[in-house]
Structure 1
Amino acid sequence: MPRGENIVTTQHIGPSGTGHQNHHSGQGTQIVTGGGNVKISIKHSGSDNKYDEASRVHILKTLYAVEYPERKDRNDNRIPGTCEWFKNHHHFKQWRESDYSSMLWVSADPGCGKSVLAKYLADGLETNEGRRPCYFFFKDDYEDQRSAKNALRCLLYQLFEQNGNLLSDKIIKLFKTYEKPLAASPYELGELWSILVLAAQGEDSGETICILDALDECRDNERHSLAKLICEFYGPNNDTKKRVNLKFLITSRPYDKIKRDFESALDADRLSVIHLKGEGDKEAQMIAKEIDIFIENRVSHIQTNLSLTHLEQQQLLRRLRAVPNRTYLWVCLTLKWIDAARYKFSQADIRKMISNLPQSVDEAYQKILANSTDETQTKKLLHIIVAAERPLTVAEIGLMMAMRQQIKCYETLDHRPDERVKQDIRDICGLFVTIYDEKVYLLHQTAKEFLVPGHNTGVQAKQSSQLTWKSSLLPSHSHRIICEICVWHLLFTKFETQPLAGEAIVADYLRDNLFLEYSAKNWATHFHASDIKESEFIQSLRQICDVTSNRCLTWLKVYWADMQTEIPLHFTTLMIASYFGLKEIVKSELGLRDISIDAVDYRYQRSALSWASENGFDSIVELLIRGPNTSFWNYVKWPFSKGAKIDARDIYGRTPLSYACLNGYLPVVQKLVEAGASVTSTDKIHGTPISYALCTGHTEIVDELSKGTRADSRDDIRRELLLSAIKHDDKLIVKRLIDSGANIEVVDSYNATPLHYAVKYENMSITRLLLLSGANTEAADTENMTPLYSAINNGSLKIAQLLLENGANIEVVGMSKRY
């Protein structure tokens, strides 16, 4: 058949199930079922453009992981005349001018300008038909910007945006195979890397340049995995790199952990390295010259503000240049400190400051903070910024700074317009913080390392007694401050009198209630990271966990809004305290005479023990196993009191042990087993605790529970669980198994695959999940029946259409011996 010719196949299935096929040329595929009463049409072609625009748009939307241009632009622009020595460095020129795949690692100490350089290169590399630069800037203050997966997603997005032809049918099919619809990150790191390499091999891909800044701020496990993929690609045994011009430029601090990641490449001399501090006298002189250019530029900008005479300006320049080991960051901090002082000091005082410049970045930070107008407020604000789960907006900062325990409504808050809050921030923190896109950040990553003890992963310098701000913010106290603010906020009267009720849209409610989303989702995280003794905060915690109040139900709905499951109905206070790990409240609830320790919610029929086990709170599990307080008098009142049912089952038939195994909490598993929990209990899909530990990769729990079990039985467990989960429409477990590497081509005694099962039970969502994971559409069972034939034979028209859209071959559906 000629390439590109369209085929229309008509499959007639009569009432008795018999059928025949007709083939003819046309514009699509038509399947007529049920004696001709129902028909569906599916367009497909042998051409290279069989995927529609909707698929491409969906992929691009999925790849746009973070606001990567805005995150890049948080960094300063380079001063003209700087970065020139780097551009002329022989390693960079060799990397830049080569017509083969290569990598360059730029090693930079804090404050040496690596992010400014990376931004300059990202903005300055011209995009044309032969060159496509992409970039990603890792950053510690955004959780999503610490992800290597997100980095590769953004690189691919930029690549396809610059040249749509690179998003070929082959790559689209790979995306469809890899996509995990329920996952926060829909693609795995290795999958994204494979697509990047494949895209870079496209016929018109040309030179693909990828700039990754601050790799040391990437999460350790993902950074290590990404470095391994990069080293394998540039390794001597990989022939692919010879067929592609894929270049990486990576900046990071010169940490040993980064060097270890690239060790294999370094040992084989396949990795070029440039240190921004310079390695020789000539380089050091060139860098010093560029920093002098930077100094002259910055001094000229503040000369007018300081009303400096020519003589004073020259004195300032000499003083700045005289400091050894100066960096761009040190210059910035020092001049900002002097510039800010013009509002507070006389000209004579400024001249005195010029003669007493800070000699290090730490000294500069100390001097900036020493100028604070209110040390107490400054510390509170810095505690909030360093411990927040995400960057906070100016409006949120304003509310948090004004919050007090006695405040019970928005109206009594000392509400200030955002512009006034910004001014307050500048007054109390000076230049230590910066505001970008209405969000508040520390001036630099080193600022957090200066303030928080033990935060820096590098070598800590010996602390001077004069550096009173250094290491002054204990993390536990920072979390205490935010936790208190969150809980006080959740106790607002409005959430009781005007709750989020009925079918109200959470997003609309949040727009009218500043900070509610943050406080509802993060109070418990801050509580467990704080130095708060639960007993000293018990009254407030008891109020927000009181299920008879509207405020409790309001924040709980906000908390659950982003979950992939529906919110439980009729939670008890004991369940909430168990879910969030509140030991004192659990104790208190267990002391109530009418406590129902085995009560279950109405949606999932899960007990307090089940929720505590799922979230890994082993101390709560121990309390619940022990049961209500059993002093002598309590024993008289409750002669039959006992602990929670160890093997209580929910609507899925799962026990607390199953959930502990599913999420990998070994201490909880051990406590439950010691209390007599059944390790062989099966749920509705015949899953066991061992099955769930196995399917999520928690081998230490598998070893704990399967002592005496033959090792070769584990594959059987996984296979049986997968097929059973499909049969019982348990998508959660199917997805967990696939994500953990389960073989989706396993077969039963009739040679039926998981895809056969999904089609047989007419499960559209699991069929789609299996197809996206690469399930073989042409697999035939012992009677030569393919999944497509089964779908047509059963009258499952939508599933048949889905199979055809994912490459099922219509020409083999008539092979069944049955007909």
Structure 2
Amino acid sequence: MATSRSNVFNSTGSITASGDARIHVGNSHRHLHIHSEAVREETEQLRISFLQRLRACPYEERKNRNPQRAEGTCGWFTRHTRFQNWRRQRSALLWVSADPGCGKSVLSRYLIDAVLPVSDDRIVCYFFFKDDFEDQRTLSIALRCILHQLFRQEPSLLSSEVLKHRCAREIVCILDALDECSDSKQLIEALTATFVGGQGTHRLKVIATSRPYRIIRSDFATLEGVQPTIHLSGESKEEANQISEEISVVIQQHIAQLTKLRQLSSTQAESLRAAMAASENRTYLWVYLVFADLDKASLLNQYALQEAIEALPQELDEAYDGILSKSENPAQVLTVLQIIVAAERPLHLREMAVALALGGKEYHAYQELEADVSDATQLQQEIRDLCGLFIVVVDERLFLLHQTAREFLVRPSSWTVQRLKWRHAVDLSLAHAVLADLCMRYLLLQPASTLGPKVRGIHITGEPLQDSVFLGYAALHWPEHYRHGATQASNELDSMAHTLCVQQESWLGVHTSNCAVDRHDDKPITPLEVAAYFGLHPLIHLIVPPLGSGRRVNWWDVGRALALASRHGHAAFIETILKSHISETQAKARTFHSTEMLDRISLFKGRALIRATTHGHHHIVEMLLEAGADANFIENNSFLSYLTGRAKATPLSTAARRGDDRIVRLLIQYGANSGIESSGDTALLRATKQGHHDAVELLLNHDAEIDAVDPDRRTALLCAVEAEAQAIVYLLVTRNAN
């Protein structure tokens, strides 16, 4: 018997009986027992499935990528008054900042594993943000992982009443490297909203670490103004001195170990200690690299040690440059670094082996490539010989040693020749072009009919297939690399990309989203739609016939492409197609009074404007408005619009419903009329129903009709009261709303 999923969990995580179950109570104990067992089984399956979906990345494994603390370190933090106060409070936030290489992530791991472990009275959740993992960059994934830990440690919270349930245990949440979170501003705003009102009734305590960036401090300013003790600054003089003292302890431990292994004299040991103490830019990472280099030295007699001491790098960048400069094959080193830096996720050794083989020569058959691919174990040793400690291998995946290594390598937009050979050696756009070339050449080595079935069978977890090792990565990521490397693209690169847009079977099946999202027919996806979906603007001139060429332009294809690119935020694609085809055609249509073409272009721009507004792409909204898109466009003729609830949607009502003040302001600036109804609601009513105070105020300031009614004859004031939006109620009352 079917059971409604909405009543599976009650507030304690146990089963809530449905109406069907109550009927069975009156008829048969056996029926009730069978039904209860079925409900319990379904509940458990739901619980397991839900928890699996929450576990967005292997967060414990990622925590353990960070080394354990050295004996005698981290005391600067655990003994600090602000941390001790944080421990005593019922609810508190502590933001810890420190410079790169000072052991923030090591500290976070130490707190989780040893200082604040899980106990009967404490739940501990954590997330380590990292730039080098696509599944460690975003707030949404962090929240999923935190919820997974929370529900595993306190199963009673996993219920339909979770928002009303109060957890009796203390909840500690540790967020490492906020500065590497792509949504850090949104996260800090949420933390501020949670803690700005004082301790409240919850027992939530948060520690967040980051570099001492001005923008992070600015985002915390509101909370710091109310609670000045939330910030523990590791870069301030007193704390920095304590960290320096702890680094000295670690140096002494390394020297003692080296003395024992290499039988150094007391004079040699003291010379090494003095040389390292003289460096003004000491960090844990610098110490690690220096001693790793000394450990590798084949000979360490008095002369060799003195030579090593004199060559000690004075800063981290010098240590990095020294590692890479030792290679006898700098061209191959650069290729490896370009691939690792540009890759959308850490590559498996087998994937890197294929990429390096492809980069070595031209292949005409897949079998030729397979014969040249290095064994994973062999490649690991080759990369260690090439790049030294700069590249690390964890679970057969390749990583840069540290975030500072990436910053050392990647060339900024304003760049000058560097004193150090390898500093800023990687042009990111060129690196993407290199990886795009490798991905596309791999996909074109085998017939589309051969790759198609394999692609459709790939589950995108990042695990390479046993055969066609590089297929999953190449199929999934070549469009991004081609787009990001557009400034470095060649005719050959453009030609390969065009071929793949035509031969979609070889790779498109790996993408979970459908390029034909705005289509309601069963026609094949066109190459232009593929290019629009992925923002491949250099291909427009290869796919769409140039104006005046005498070849027919499929304008409906152009219109769909404009809408797709607007939906997915591809500004360069939109700008290119507006300039190359739409603007000139519109000008000619005006000259020759072609009403049909003018109406068609107006429709294309209007639909694109709705898509851009719906998905919050401010810069594209502005671009389309500047290009003449109608700010009062009403989409009411699309079958898909009816299905998706966008029937009679206007850009302004769409932006108001989303609470997107910036787009609301833009649309008003370009003449949007707040009185035009969207499915029976004005923009003001839509903003009010969704509780968007700032959007409501903005609309009122631009003469929105305050007493307009919806199809149920409710005014904005009544809607605000029903929504319990007190701030909006107050605002409307002060404006004399009825």
Q: TM-score, normalised by structure 1?
A: 0.69
Q: Indicate if the aligned counterparts of 1:109 and 1:276 stay in contact, CA closer than 8 A.
A: yes
Output the CA distance in 2 between the equivalents of 1:233 and 1:578: 40
Give the corresponding residue for 2:188.
227
Alignment of 1:681-720 (within 5 A): 681-683=635-637, 684=639, 685=642, 686-688=647-649, 690=651, 692=654, 709-713=672-676
CA drift at 1:58: 4.0
Alignment of 1:500-539 (within 5 A): 500=452, 505-507=457-459, 512-530=467-485, 531-535=487-491, 537-539=493-495
Give the corresponding residue for 1:293.
249
Give the corresponding residue for 1:669.
624
1:335 aligns with 2:335: no
Alignment of 1:151-166 (within 5 A): 151-166=142-157
1:128 aligns with 2:119: yes
Report the more deviating stretch, 209-218 or 660-669.
660-669
CA drift at 1:648: 6.9
Match of 1:208 among 146, 163, 171: 171
Output the CA distance in 1 between the equivalents of 2:683 and 2:95: 47
Give the corresponding residue for 1:323.
279
Output the CA distance in 1 between the equivalents of 2:454 and 2:376: 33
Alignment of 1:249-328 (within 5 A): 249-277=207-235, 279-280=237-238, 286-302=242-258, 308=264, 311-328=267-284
Q: Indicate if the aligned counterparts of 2:127 and 2:176 stay in contact, CA closer than 8 A.
A: yes
Q: Indicate if the aligned counterparts of 1:108 and 1:254 stay in contact, CA closer than 8 A.
A: yes
CA drift at 1:621: 3.7
Q: Which amino acid aligns with 1:252?
A: S
Q: Indicate if the aligned counterparts of 2:634 and 2:648 stay in contact, CA closer than 8 A.
A: no
Output the CA distance in 2 between the equivalents of 1:503 and 1:73: 33
Q: What secondary structure does 1:110 align onto?
A: coil
Match of 2:437 among 453, 462, 484: 484
1:471 aligns with 2:448: no
Give the corresponding residue for 1:192.
none
Deviations 1:250-287 (A, max 9, x none): 2111111121122123223443433335633xx56643
Q: What secondary structure does 1:430 align onto?
A: helix
CA drift at 1:497: 5.4
Identical amino acids, percent of aligned pairs? 32
Output the CA distance in 2 between the equivalents of 1:431 and 1:423: 12
Q: Indicate if the aligned counterparts of 1:681 and 1:689 stay in contact, CA closer than 8 A.
A: yes
Give the corresponding residue for 2:718.
none
Unaligned runs of 5+ in 1: 11-23, 31-39, 175-197, 632-640, 724-736, 753-773, 777-819
Cα 1:703/1:262, change in 2 over 3 Å: closer
Deviations 1:753-787 (A, max 9, x none): xxxxxxxxxxxxxxxxxxxxx999xxxxxxxxxxx
Cα 1:578/1:93, change in 2 over 3 Å: closer
Give the corresponding residue for 2:401.
443
Larger proportion of helix = 2
Alignment of 1:619-634 (within 5 A): 619-625=576-582
Output the CA distance in 2 between the equivalents of 1:571 and 1:6: 47
Q: Indicate if the aligned counterparts of 1:612 and 1:620 stay in contact, CA closer than 8 A.
A: no
Q: Indicate if the aligned counterparts of 2:133 and 2:346 stay in contact, CA closer than 8 A.
A: yes
Q: What secondary structure does 2:70 align onto?
A: coil
Q: Which amino acid aligns with 2:332?
A: Q
Match of 1:496 among 442, 448, 458: 448
1:572 aligns with 2:535: no
Output the CA distance in 2 between the equivalents of 1:412 and 1:644: 55
Output the CA distance in 2 between the equivalents of 1:712 and 1:371: 70
1:419 aligns with 2:371: no
CA drift at 1:140: 1.4
Q: Indicate if the aligned counterparts of 1:517 and 1:559 stay in contact, CA closer than 8 A.
A: no
1:384 aligns with 2:374: no
Alignment of 1:720-735 (within 5 A): none
Q: Indicate if the aligned counterparts of 2:455 and 2:509 stay in contact, CA closer than 8 A.
A: no
Cα 1:106/1:487, change in 2 over 3 Å: same
Output the CA distance in 2 between the equivalents of 1:705 and 1:234: 35
Deviations 1:678-728 (A, max 9, x none): 9234233233452555555666665666655542546766589999xxxxx
Give the corresponding residue for 2:48.
57
Output the CA distance in 2 between the equivalents of 1:419 and 1:679: 60
Cα 1:57/1:316, change in 2 over 3 Å: same
Unaligned runs of 5+ in 2: 1-10, 589-595, 697-707, 715-721, 725-738
Q: Which amino acid aligns with 1:289?
A: E
Q: Which amino acid aligns with 2:136?
A: Q
Size of the aligned set, in residue pairs, is: 652
Give the corresponding residue for 2:731.
none
Q: What secondary structure does 1:210 align onto?
A: strand
Q: Indicate if the aligned counterparts of 1:373 and 1:427 stay in contact, CA closer than 8 A.
A: no
Q: What secondary structure does 1:65 align onto?
A: coil
CA drift at 1:167: 3.3
Output the CA distance in 2 between the equivalents of 1:702 and 1:269: 34
Answer 1 or 2: higher relative contact order, Cα 8 Å, separation at least 6.
1
Q: What secondary structure does 2:298 align onto?
A: helix
Give the corresponding residue for 1:817.
none
Output the CA distance in 2 between the equivalents of 1:382 and 1:139: 18
Q: Which amino acid aligns with 2:215?
A: K
Output the CA distance in 2 between the equivalents of 1:6 and 1:267: 46
CA drift at 1:116: 0.6
Q: What secondary structure does 2:308 align onto?
A: helix
Q: Which amino acid aligns with 2:51?
A: L
Q: Which amino acid aligns with 1:67?
A: P
Output the CA distance in 1 between the equivalents of 2:343 and 2:125: 30
